[in-house]
A = this chain, B = another copy of it.
Amino acid sequence: MNAKDRGRSRRRFLTEGAALAGLLSPAAAGVLGAMQSANGQTATPKPEAAAKDTRAYGERSHFENSVRTPVSYGSSFNLLPESLEPPPDSDTPLQDSIGIITPSGLHYITSRWRSKPPDIDPQQHRLLIHGMVDHPLILTMDELKRLPSVSRVHFIECAGNTSPYEKPNAETVQETHGRTSCSEWTGVLLSLLLKEAGVQKGASWLVAESADAGKHSVSITLSKAMFDAMLVYGQNGEAVRPEQGYPLRLLVPGFEGVRNVKWLRRIKVVDGPYLAKAESTGYSILRPNLDGKALWYNFELGPKSVITFSASGSRKLSGPGFYEISGLAWSGGGAIRRVEVSTDGGRTWKDAQIQEPVHRVAHTRFRLGWNWDGKEAVLQSRCTDDQGSVQPSLAEFAKTWGVKPEYFKETQKNRQNVNHFNAIQPWRVASDGSVHNAIWL
């Protein structure tokens, strides 16, 4: 049996197999020799690859081409001079995600409301904590790194991730859900510094300010700051990346991305929220009764999940047989406790396996084996967090808005932004193995 025949026999196995064993092709006699020569061919080093010195600091294989893609809607709302305009937002390629850690080089970037990422020398950077405190503090990065630290795995998600307003015709999981990422963050608990500074009676909020030219600022409740907010200088074992706020970022676990102030240089303790630029329009959401008024300071992201492997954009299924459906679930409210997967358009649901250990307010990998019979199928996932909150269907999400599901298809026409959109995401697998966004079906 030559190599071509073996390939054909394997493909036949895959189309026939309905059990796991069907995926695995038996090795024909004498296959080892053929394999060795095949590997021998592929093992020839390419001159250009060999030329690069990746021994000091490594790079990925030149066969890997998963990249962040720019988002097509406009960039910032800053009305800044062109020289200070940030580059367009970039979505994480979730279709290629593995495990729960997002590679730092592929962490999503949102620059809306912010200006061009500043290039900060950590030796020169200072953090000021002042306002309603007994002892204002000013710290260098070296001083921050001498303090008691913690490392925690947390996701950061843009409030507008999955918003049908921004991308009503999104096709791939990178476009629909690509503005969430998860890292091991290391730094100092903000509560430690606030205790040292001595918060005064009457203080209830703080305002955090970035060192970018636009001075991006947000309001955070003091209770959240004292609960689990961190000043992070480490991301996945090294310094926070430049687009993520190098050298210092405010991490507010589970709050919408915009509150996680990058290039953090100032925290002012105050007695009420400030109407910061990003808060007065863009990050409000309409009140459920649609009376024309908005909810302000609605920070916490709800439970959300999405299938990433066997999602649109991930790949075409190569034929009937066994597949592992895999995806990510997360919640701003706590830890993921359950993920259910449906392969029949929502008629029945099965509990997926959850990757342990589950971290609080972190991407949680789920997996479920599936024998595809080759017929059209609709795949979707639904998560529940440890507060008992369940990810809603589109119909349920629409109900809390007091509208019909169709409303969201037209939010651009209605000029109605939709933040915190966390409806269940269905993917339609066509009989040819291609996968499509089925949110509007």
Contacts and interface: CB of A to CB of B under 8 A. Distances in A.
A184 B101 contact: yes
Interface stretch (A104-112, A155-163, A223-231): A104-112
Interface stretch (A22-30, A284-292, A339-347, A384-392): A22-30
Nearest to A99: B151
Contact of A43 (B39, B60, B213): B213
Given A237-B99, A324-B149, A32 B63 contact: no
A25 B57 contact: no
Oligomer: number of copies: 2
A239 B138 contact: no
Interface stretch (A139-147, A421-429, A432-440): A139-147
A15 to B, nearest CB: 13
A130 B90 CA distance: 45
A245 to B, nearest CB: 11
Contacts of A61: 119, 122, 239, 241-242, 246-247
- Which of A41, A67, A237, A355 has the largest number of chain B CB atoms within 10 A? A237
A237 B93 CA distance: 11
Interface string A284-328: 000000000000000000000000010000000010011110100
Given A125-B42, A146-B324, A355 B151 contact: yes
Interface string A113-136: 000111111101110111000011
A43 B119 contact: yes
B211 A324 contact: no
B151 A237 contact: no
Interface stretch (A44-52, A374-382, A394-402, A406-414): A44-52
A326 B43 contact: no
A358 B356 CA distance: 11
A232 to B, nearest CB: 10
A16 to B, nearest CB: 14
Contact of A196 (B20, B39, B148, B236): B20
Interface residues of A, number: 119
A217 interface: no
B57 A128 contact: no
A54 interface: yes
A331 interface: no
A68 interface: yes
A222 interface: no
B64 A238 contact: yes
B147 A324 contact: yes
B355 A118 contact: no
B26 A137 contact: yes
A147 B20 contact: yes
Contact of A27 (B87, B137, B149, B246): B137
A68 B23 CA distance: 41
Given A39-B125, A146-B323, A148-B324, A27 B130 contact: yes
Contacts of A150: 355
Nearest to A49: B119
A56 B46 contact: no
A175 interface: no
Nearest to A56: B67
24 contacts: A14-B143, A20-B196, A25-B138, A25-B139, A26-B137, A26-B138, A27-B138, A31-B136, A32-B130, A39-B126, A42-B121, A43-B119, A46-B119, A60-B104, A61-B242, A66-B238, A98-B239, A99-B184, A99-B234, A100-B237, A101-B184, A106-B237, A145-B309, A146-B322
